[in-house]
Amino acid sequence: MRKATNAHIQAKRLLENCGLDEITDLDMDLFIAGLDAMLIEEELSNCDGKIIFGNSKAVIKVNSKIQFPERKRFVAAHEIGHLIMHKNMQLPDDTFANFNIIEGMENALKNGKQELEANEFASELLMPESLFYKEAKGKKFSPLLIKQLSERFKTSLTATIFRYIQFEQLHPLCLVFIENGKVRYWKKSDSLIVWMGDYNRLSPPSDSVAVEYLQNNYDFIYKLEEKAQTINKSTWFNLNQYEEDTPFYEYCIPTRRYKTILSIIWED
């Protein structure tokens, strides 16, 4: 894994101070109550989560309209990150986009640094480094592995993928985040030696799996064993004049509510 950040250190310290190795089987409302704060689920019109700092207690709100409990857990953990690290800062309400920024992309959002830190904190809190690596090491990368890891830590597929790519010792990946039909940003493992095509703010390539999901209105069009579709290296990456166009794989996680697709691309 890359060098530990302050957010990772703070999350590890919180677990240690609570005498816990992980919080996978704890209800988030009880854990937050132990931090002298309160968790409330209610319908929020323009955001997925927010934190309100009071004189003596903080209130963490999570949008009750969020469909999946795993996502609610990550939103709550993200707000705990704000509680621990950003008490004296002016913070905006947390929208879906805030939960998807990754290192190097934080400048795309107002308060991006704080949002990145809160995401890193949540990731470490819900998927502790040593436990996650133990579960993932030595296993062939596949959509099934990500599903198994997400079930083990009660996290969303998206959060699990973002956690996986933080470990350079694991299988190298490239992640491409697509919003409203346009590539918003991408990130790859350092050990994946490829040159990304110029797709920022453009539609994904016509022969990509992502385009299939766009054409099918973000429906899950492949069963689990079919989610890893074969593509050409040249679909997403530039080739030099001497380079062979070898097979790669692409696996997509669509979210119709937010009109997003996360494409995961790798070589076997």
Residue 206 CB partners (closer than 8 Å, separation 6+): none
**Starting from the edge strand earliest in sequence, which strands make up the sheet with 182-188, in order?**
182-188, 174-179, 260-266, 247-255, 229-232
All CATH 3.30.450 domain ranges of the chain, comma separated, are 172-268
What's 145's DSSP letter? H
CATH number of 6-130: 1.10.10
Residue range 172-268 forms a domain whose CATH class is alpha beta
All CATH 1.10.10 domain ranges of the chain, comma separated, are 6-130
- Res 54: pLDDT: 87
- Res 257: pLDDT: 87
Considering the entire predicted model, what is its pTM? 0.93
pLDDT in tens, 61-106: 999 999 999 999 999 999 999 999 998 788 877 787 777 777 766 6
- Res 232: pLDDT: 98
Of the candidates 67, 56, 60, the one whose C-alpha atom is nearest the C-alpha of residue 28 is 60
- Res 2: pLDDT: 66
**Per-residue confidence of the chain (268 residues) as pLDDT tens digits?**
667 899 999 999 999 999 999 999 999 999 999 999 999 999 998 899 999 998 888 999 999 999 999 999 999 999 999 999 998 788 877 787 777 777 766 666 667 789 999 999 999 999 999 999 999 999 999 999 999 999 999 999 999 999 999 999 999 999 999 999 999 999 999 999 999 999 989 999 999 999 999 999 999 999 888 999 999 999 999 999 889 999 999 999 999 988 999 999 999 9
Residue 156 and residue 77 in contact, taking contact as beta carbons nearer than 8 Å:
no
- Res 17: pLDDT: 97
Of the candidates 189, 198, 204, 267, the one whose C-alpha atom is nearest the C-alpha of residue 233 is 267
Amino acid identity at 116? L
pLDDT in tens, 29-63: 999 999 999 999 999 988 999 999 988 889 999 99
- Res 106: pLDDT: 64
| Residues in the chain, total | 268
